[in-house]
Chain A
């Protein structure tokens, strides 16, 4: 079946503009995660959705970052008033039911964001 998809694959924007990044998880997966990866670095957790529970937003770096997940499926990560330090690859992952992160995560190809 189809894997996790993300769009756009690349986004170039000017400093101060808002951007929206989209993630379509695997059908039936209840958990959805957003990560950020700066060049040559590991993954930084941003936010986690599990079913209808309140999301875990503990990794969001500032109030310019927000995310929503509509209908328990598609998720959008929004960055307002982008800064150059926001430039990174944003990765989305989903995992099947089973509770918590006790299962493997399936990653999308990522969105490479460049803020000029």
Chain B
């Protein structure tokens, strides 16, 4: 069955370190998204991609970067982790076809920056 996975599921890192969160989908979807979820804010869009080599900034992109070298993967990198980046991170994908653009979410990565 097609799926979307994230790794690691839990990560503790120190302030200033570079961290990369992986997202891999086997739906063959063109569109991929990264969100962070914090209490009281809901899901906020960090970066998104509509195809290989396409990346775009979302609402809260400062301090994050992504690259899309193939259809399946959209890794999220925190260049220099800050305590404000402690959050739960969700990756999502959609096929971009049809009218619904339903997004399928990965299980999430809980990141703690100490």
A binds B: no
B residues with CB within 8 A of A: none
